[in-house]
Chain A
Amino acid sequence: MAHFPTAIAEPGQDHTLVLNMGPQHPSTHGVLRLVLEIDGETVIGLKPEIGYLHTGIEKTCEAKFYQQVVPLTDRIDYLCPMTNNLTYCLAVEKLLGLEIPPKAQWLRVLMNELTRINSHLVWLGTHAMDLGAMTVFLYCFREREDVLRLFEMISGQRMMTSYFRIGGVALEPPLGFFDKVKKFADRFPGNVDEYEGLLTGNPIFMMRTKGVAHLSAEDAIAMGACGPTLRGSGVDIDLRRDAPYTGYENFKFNVPVRTEGDVFARYLCRVQELRESIGMVQQALAGMPEGPIKADAPKVVLPDREKMKTQMEALIYHFKIITEGFTVPEGEVYQAVESPRGEMGYYIVSDGTAKPYRVHMRGPSYANLQALAKMCEGQLIADVVAAIGSIDVVLGDIDR
């Protein structure tokens, strides 16, 4: 793609300059290429060029059994693997009409909120570093390491967890896991105070973010922005509250909304979300119900290893699921979930076989990227970096 020059404006025409930013630029958070049209230091036009990370996951899904798609979903938005797992599993469960036991639902909420913390910590660290605050990056990655250790404890993997499965979760949490989460959850609000102490009142940070890359509520809705980008512009929507899924209706939390619509407002929304998430982690720990972690659906959910070794029936189901998958009734669903970046939607079409006919992922970054051009018009080049950081772009999610 790179050897095809993009015509945005003829060089030499008028007094603007066409400047290439990325795809290897460190502040583009991945392989995002921006073609900037600039007049001096002022950005007149911005066109994102994407596709460098396109791996054709949607096509790959069509050749896999339903349960084999779960590990692929981790790789889409690699900063919030569990949210991807959750969206996909919820969509297939909706197609199947499967009921999930309460413990699995609460585990899902617990892990999903830890994932949000993980993702927001990466965002906060890199966003602050883009704006020159190196310390915050080191602090954030220190706490992120703790979250990743929790992920490793429960799923055996630090990043590509594949912990949520169709019909429940993969494994019973190990002994002492909840104590470790509790310890982290008790300590974490203090850490957030620490980050905020470094940034929120910091005059340099405020000058780099306040009033920068403004996006009005009308523009945000029209351009399809979602998540904290939309809430930072004063639109009060959060799917966890407005269309609860997997037991979110049992949790009490606030949805932070700011009306300023600038980089600082988005920053404040996300930092507040960190606090709300840790509150939900505490609630999930306090109210964790007892019971099975997988739905009672032997044709869909893999049997326990123990049962498989002792019961003929379980062995047969195991063999059937592994070799020929399970069929899903005809139909289609669109399941939307509030990911750390906004509305993540999976549209799955089933033709009644064991493989999905079509899987489409609606990535929140893909939607937010469209709003970037609107934000950056008339801003300085250095503010483009602040704007990219503020929409928390993940290129795996955009290119799929």
Chain B
Amino acid sequence: MPLAPPITDIDQLKSHPALEQLVHWNSSIVQAAKFDRDELTIWLSKGAIREAGSILRDSADCPFNYLADLTCVDWYPSEPRFEVVYHLLSIPRKERVRLKVRLDGSSPSIESVTSVWPAANHYEREVFDLFGVRFTGHPNLKRILMPDDWEGHPLRKDYPVEGYR
């Protein structure tokens, strides 16, 4: 089964409910979109994630009411270095979409989505803990998996994996 080439043309992908809603709301926040291996990815501009989240959650047609996962990818040494990844699921329509926001490497921070999906609480703490991305507006942003006095963020690509600490 050869892989189909990814579709990156926003106009072609507009039939997907998530992209349709976002473009309809404010097309300037959608930076790019990609449909690859049956999964849709939408890159959003940094400031818009919380509002875009509530637009998607409250949509009457296809509400993305369930935050399935929230994580981050470190693209060190290229810039923008971090990509925060949101996996959303629409429970009534069983649709999935992946949102991404790119962040710069120097003091990365983004608005918290805990007010949209309370489930984001622990996930954002995990990303803060392991990647050092700050979430503004988070109710309790502190380390969750590593000890409180830990230095550094282990899942960053420049974190040493060998030798004594």
Q: Could you tell me which A residues sit within 8 Å of B by CB distance?
A: 1, 4, 50-51, 54, 56, 58-59, 63, 94-95, 97-99, 221-224, 235, 237, 242-243, 329, 331-334, 336, 343, 345, 347, 349, 357-358, 360, 362, 366-367, 369-370, 399-400
Contacts and interface: CB of A to CB of B under 8 A. Distances in A.
12 contacts: A50-B144, A50-B145, A56-B154, A222-B117, A222-B119, A224-B66, A224-B118, A331-B6, A331-B37, A345-B87, A358-B73, A362-B87
A216 to B, nearest CB: 13
Interface stretch (B11-19, B21-29, B90-98, B103-111): B90-98
B163 to A, nearest CB: 14
B148 A334 contact: no
B161 A59 contact: yes
B1 A99 contact: yes
B161 A97 contact: no
Given A362-B68, A362-B71, 20 more contacts: A1-B148, A51-B146, A54-B146, A58-B130, A59-B159, A97-B2, A99-B1, A222-B65, A222-B119, A223-B119, A224-B67, A224-B118, A334-B68, A334-B87, A334-B98, A345-B68, A345-B87, A358-B74, A370-B118, A370-B119
B122 A221 contact: no
A51 B144 contact: yes
Interface string B30-56: 000000110101000000000000000
A165 B143 CA distance: 34
Q: Is the interface of A mostly helix, strand, loop or mixed?
A: mixed
Contact of B121 (A54, A345, A370): A370
B77 interface: no
A382 to B, nearest CB: 26
A243 to B, nearest CB: 6
Interface of B: 1-3, 6, 36-37, 39, 41, 65-69, 71, 73-74, 85, 87, 91, 94, 96, 98, 117-119, 121-122, 130, 143-149, 154-155, 159, 161
Given A221-B91, A329-B3, A333-B37, A59 B154 contact: yes
B120 to A, nearest CB: 8
A379 B145 CA distance: 27
